[in-house]
A = this chain, B = another copy of it.
Amino acid sequence: MYTLHTFVRLHDTDAAGILFFANQFKLAHDAYESFMDASGNRFSKILNDGEVLYPIVHAEADYNAMLEAGDRLTIRLTPENIGKTSFTLSYKFVDAGENIVGTAQTVHVCVDRRSGEKKDLPEDIRLALNGIA
Protein backbone atom coordinates (compact mmCIF):
# COMPACT_ATOMS: atom_id res chain seq x y z
CA MET A 1 0.00 0.00 0.00
CA TYR A 2 1.15 3.51 -0.80
CA THR A 3 -0.30 6.39 1.22
CA LEU A 4 -0.72 10.04 0.28
CA HIS A 5 -1.86 12.63 2.79
CA THR A 6 -3.65 15.53 1.20
CA PHE A 7 -6.45 18.04 1.61
CA VAL A 8 -9.65 18.90 -0.19
CA ARG A 9 -9.03 22.39 -1.53
CA LEU A 10 -11.60 25.04 -2.41
CA HIS A 11 -11.07 24.48 -6.13
CA ASP A 12 -11.94 20.80 -5.62
CA THR A 13 -15.39 21.76 -4.38
CA ASP A 14 -18.36 23.17 -6.26
CA ALA A 15 -21.38 25.32 -5.51
CA ALA A 16 -23.10 22.35 -3.83
CA GLY A 17 -20.50 22.93 -1.11
CA ILE A 18 -18.77 19.58 -1.49
CA LEU A 19 -16.05 17.82 -3.46
CA PHE A 20 -16.99 17.82 -7.17
CA PHE A 21 -17.16 14.13 -8.09
CA ALA A 22 -14.64 14.31 -10.95
CA ASN A 23 -12.07 15.74 -8.56
CA GLN A 24 -12.02 12.52 -6.54
CA PHE A 25 -10.44 10.99 -9.65
CA LYS A 26 -8.00 13.87 -9.81
CA LEU A 27 -6.96 13.26 -6.20
CA ALA A 28 -6.62 9.53 -6.93
CA HIS A 29 -4.25 10.34 -9.77
CA ASP A 30 -2.21 12.57 -7.44
CA ALA A 31 -1.62 9.48 -5.30
CA TYR A 32 -0.60 7.46 -8.36
CA GLU A 33 1.88 10.15 -9.49
CA SER A 34 3.26 10.48 -5.98
CA PHE A 35 3.72 6.69 -5.78
CA MET A 36 5.47 6.57 -9.16
CA ASP A 37 7.89 9.33 -8.13
CA ALA A 38 8.51 7.67 -4.75
CA SER A 39 9.22 4.32 -6.43
CA GLY A 40 11.94 5.83 -8.60
CA ASN A 41 9.84 5.84 -11.79
CA ARG A 42 9.78 9.59 -12.23
CA PHE A 43 6.43 10.51 -13.67
CA SER A 44 7.66 13.46 -15.73
CA LYS A 45 10.47 11.33 -17.15
CA ILE A 46 7.94 8.74 -18.34
CA LEU A 47 5.87 11.54 -19.89
CA ASN A 48 8.83 13.14 -21.65
CA ASP A 49 11.07 10.23 -22.59
CA GLY A 50 9.32 6.98 -21.79
CA GLU A 51 9.07 4.36 -24.53
CA VAL A 52 5.76 3.31 -23.03
CA LEU A 53 2.90 5.22 -21.46
CA TYR A 54 0.13 3.96 -19.15
CA PRO A 55 -3.13 5.57 -20.29
CA ILE A 56 -6.29 4.90 -18.31
CA VAL A 57 -8.89 2.83 -20.17
CA HIS A 58 -11.41 2.54 -17.35
CA ALA A 59 -12.08 4.45 -14.15
CA GLU A 60 -14.74 4.23 -11.53
CA ALA A 61 -15.50 5.67 -8.12
CA ASP A 62 -17.94 5.47 -5.25
CA TYR A 63 -18.83 8.36 -3.00
CA ASN A 64 -19.82 7.69 0.61
CA ALA A 65 -19.63 11.13 2.17
CA MET A 66 -19.80 14.84 1.54
CA LEU A 67 -16.23 16.20 1.63
CA GLU A 68 -15.63 19.90 2.24
CA ALA A 69 -12.83 22.34 1.53
CA GLY A 70 -10.15 21.93 4.17
CA ASP A 71 -10.96 18.29 4.94
CA ARG A 72 -7.88 16.16 5.47
CA LEU A 73 -7.80 13.09 3.28
CA THR A 74 -5.60 10.04 3.33
CA ILE A 75 -5.49 8.19 0.03
CA ARG A 76 -4.49 4.53 0.21
CA LEU A 77 -3.34 3.11 -3.09
CA THR A 78 -3.02 -0.63 -3.74
CA PRO A 79 -2.51 -2.48 -7.02
CA GLU A 80 -5.46 -4.78 -7.49
CA ASN A 81 -4.34 -6.63 -10.53
CA ILE A 82 -0.93 -6.64 -12.22
CA GLY A 83 -1.27 -8.21 -15.65
CA LYS A 84 1.09 -8.72 -18.55
CA THR A 85 0.23 -5.47 -20.31
CA SER A 86 -2.01 -3.71 -17.79
CA PHE A 87 -2.57 -2.98 -14.13
CA THR A 88 -5.47 -1.91 -11.96
CA LEU A 89 -5.06 0.51 -9.07
CA SER A 90 -7.46 0.69 -6.17
CA TYR A 91 -7.83 3.80 -4.01
CA LYS A 92 -9.44 4.25 -0.62
CA PHE A 93 -10.16 7.79 0.56
CA VAL A 94 -10.06 7.97 4.36
CA ASP A 95 -11.03 10.99 6.43
CA ALA A 96 -9.50 12.27 9.70
CA GLY A 97 -11.83 9.96 11.65
CA GLU A 98 -10.64 6.88 9.69
CA ASN A 99 -13.93 6.57 7.79
CA ILE A 100 -13.76 5.40 4.21
CA VAL A 101 -15.40 8.34 2.48
CA GLY A 102 -14.84 7.14 -1.06
CA THR A 103 -13.14 4.59 -3.27
CA ALA A 104 -11.86 4.56 -6.83
CA GLN A 105 -10.26 2.28 -9.38
CA THR A 106 -8.22 3.04 -12.47
CA VAL A 107 -7.24 0.51 -15.13
CA HIS A 108 -4.01 1.34 -16.97
CA VAL A 109 -2.76 -0.22 -20.17
CA CYS A 110 0.90 -0.18 -21.14
CA VAL A 111 1.23 1.09 -24.71
CA ASP A 112 4.04 2.01 -27.03
CA ARG A 113 4.42 5.78 -27.07
CA ARG A 114 4.53 6.02 -30.85
CA SER A 115 2.46 3.13 -32.19
CA GLY A 116 -0.07 3.01 -29.35
CA GLU A 117 0.23 -0.78 -29.38
CA LYS A 118 0.03 -2.82 -26.19
CA LYS A 119 3.39 -3.65 -24.66
CA ASP A 120 4.53 -5.77 -21.74
CA LEU A 121 4.85 -3.86 -18.48
CA PRO A 122 8.48 -2.85 -17.95
CA GLU A 123 10.20 -4.71 -15.14
CA ASP A 124 10.77 -1.61 -13.00
CA ILE A 125 7.06 -0.77 -13.01
CA ARG A 126 6.15 -4.38 -12.24
CA LEU A 127 8.59 -4.33 -9.33
CA ALA A 128 7.26 -1.02 -8.05
CA LEU A 129 3.68 -2.26 -8.17
CA ASN A 130 4.56 -5.57 -6.52
CA GLY A 131 6.37 -3.61 -3.84
CA ILE A 132 3.09 -2.14 -2.58
CA ALA A 133 0.83 -5.10 -3.42
Contacts and interface: CB of A to CB of B under 8 A. Distances in A.
Interface of A is mostly: mixed
Interface residues of A, number: 44
Number of copies: 4
Contact of A55 (B7, B16, B53): B16
Given A22-B23, A33-B70, A70-B33, A15 B47 contact: yes
Contact of A29 (B21, B60, B106): B21
Interface in A1-51: 7, 9-11, 13-18, 20-23, 25-26, 29-30, 33-34, 37, 42-44, 47-48
15 contacts: A7-B33, A9-B30, A15-B68, A17-B47, A22-B22, A33-B69, A43-B69, A44-B71, A56-B63, A57-B63, A57-B64, A58-B61, A58-B62, A58-B63, A59-B61
